Amino acid sequence: MGALPTPLALPLGYPVYCANGVLAQVGAVVRDTAPAHRVAIISDRVVGAHHASAILAQCAGVPVQLFTIPPGEQEKTRARWAELTDALVAWGAGRDTTIIALGGGVVGDLAGFVAATFMRGLPVVQVPTTLLAMVDASVGGKTAVDTPAGKNLVGAFHNPSAVVIDPQVLETLPPAVLRSGLAEMLKHGVIADPSYFEQVLAALPDIVRQGAKAHGLDTLIAGSVHLKAHVVAEDTREGGLRQILNFGHTIAHAIEKVRQYDMLHGEAVAMGMVVEARLAEQIGLAHQGLSRSIRDAVQRAGLPATLPPGIDLAAVVAETHGDKKARGGAARYALPRAIGEMEAAEGRWTVPVPDDVVMTALTESVGAPA
């Protein structure tokens, strides 16, 4: 099987392995970074059917068990967290257990929260299987579940012992799910690096046409992880700079809630970035044309740039007040001044925007009826 690949050079306290074929070494990563007497794999039923058997085989010699949930954002709940923790107790898991989170962002968040809270904290190895999870959710230690009041409102910071990213697993994804991750890659360029933004733009035609087999996708994934890791390292608890990672997400989370999570997260983020860039233009932070540039990039990625016709815009505005960044009942937004530059007035990385301005931007962003 050979030695583990060299982890990415990142300012984190845990290794991130990003290499084609590294899924075959998850067992070695666990033994190296989170040795345990028991291994619990948490996945969803679709991902588990594709990849769990290979990881189960790598954990020979210790008790290992697969726990699965149905796929979908609607499963990221306190009820599922309770079911999983009860199942771990029934299986006999203790503090000698390591959890492997095998799946997309929903599994990563949920399994990470189980690991953060079970017996006050177990090691977790994140094994993301979607592009979005690879470049975003698996790195940074944020874990959470949703509540009826909003997304990710109950959670904990709990860094993984390691992250294992194998771009080859993306070949099993439907094209729409793969494209969903491109929203986060574009976002990383907008918030931190205009040259990376241009690299993603240049690669979009090949990625849209060839999917996971596109040349250089692994390099772009590593670049995106690099950008996020440097932001996270500066602000581990999301009290300052790390808030820029929420660009596009205040609107995205509100859209998801109003639409009852009937779309992919990356699709909502794509819409949210266009709207929030328009907010930055409307309040004079950004030059006119920024939202057009982001809208063009989103469309080239095959992602929606407009809100669904008929969506309740007043409900979307109302939902923004439940966002984690809201203060005193007012919604705050992480807004760009330009590609690669975020607003940081008076050392704060979010900006309050009046509801009427948000409503105007939303109204301008609704798509035409089919």
Q: Which of 228, 257, 278, 295 is catalytic?
A: 228
Is 265 considered catalytic here? yes
pLDDT of residue 325: 63
CA distance 225 to 14: 13
Indicate the pTM of the whole model.
Answer: 0.94
Choice among 38, 80, 253, 295 that is catalytic: 253
Which residues fall within 8 angstroms of residue 254, CB to CB, at 6 or more apart?
A: 316, 317, 319, 320, 323
Q: Six-digit token pair at 171?
A: 């070949």
DSSP 235-262: -TTSSSGGGGGGTTHHHHHHHHHHTTS-
Report whether pLDDT(150) > 70. yes
Catalytic position from the list 249, 257, 278, 325: 249
Q: Is the pLDDT confidence value at 326 over 80?
A: no
Q: How confident is the model at residue 237 (pLDDT cuts 50, 70, 90)?
A: confident
Which among 51, 151, 246, 278 is annotated as catalytic?
A: 246
pLDDT score of 108: 98
Lowest mean pLDDT, pick from 159-168, 181-190, 263-272, 338-347:
338-347
Lookup: tokens for 120 = 């006050």
Which residues have CB under 8 Å from 82's CB, separation 6+? none
pLDDT at 127 over 70: yes
Q: What tokens does 208 get?
A: 């849209």
More confident residue, 229 or 370: 229
Is 228 annotated as catalytic? Answer: yes
Which residue among the candidates 242, 257, 295, 332 is catalytic per the annotation?
Answer: 242
User: Across residues 358-369, what is the average pLDDT?
Assistant: 91
187 is catalytic: no
Other CB atoms within 10 Å distance of the CB of residue 181: 30
Using DSSP's 3-state secondary structure scheme, residue 160 falls into: coil
DSSP lists the bridge partners of residue 337 as: none
Residue 136 has pLDDT above 70, yes or no: yes
- Beta 124-128 vs 97-103: how paired, if at all? parallel
Q: What is the average pLDDT across 182-196?
A: 98
pLDDT at 370 over 70: no
Residue 1 pLDDT more than 60? Answer: no
Q: Does the active-site annotation cover 253?
A: yes
Work out the angle between the directed axes of helices 313-320 and 249-258 (0-180°, nearest 10).
Answer: 120
Active site (annotated) includes residue 257? no
Find out whether 242 and 231 touch, Cβ atoms under 8 Å: yes
Say how far apart CA 90 and CA 97 lie, in whole Å.
13
Is 188 among the catalytic positions?
no
The answer to whether residue 343 is catalytic is no
- Residue 50 bears catalytic tag: no
Out of 226, 257, 265, 295, the active site residue is 265
Lowest mean pLDDT across 75-84, 181-190, 347-356: 347-356
Distance, CA of 111 to CA of 291 (rounded, Å): 36
242 is catalytic: yes
Smallest CA-to-CA distance from 264 within 203, 179, 339, 139 is with: 179
Residues 166-176: pLDDT tens digits? 999 999 999 99
Q: Which residue has the tokens 């090691």?
A: 123
**What are the pLDDT digits (tens) for 137-149?**
999 999 999 999 8
Catalytic residue among 238, 292, 324, 341: 238
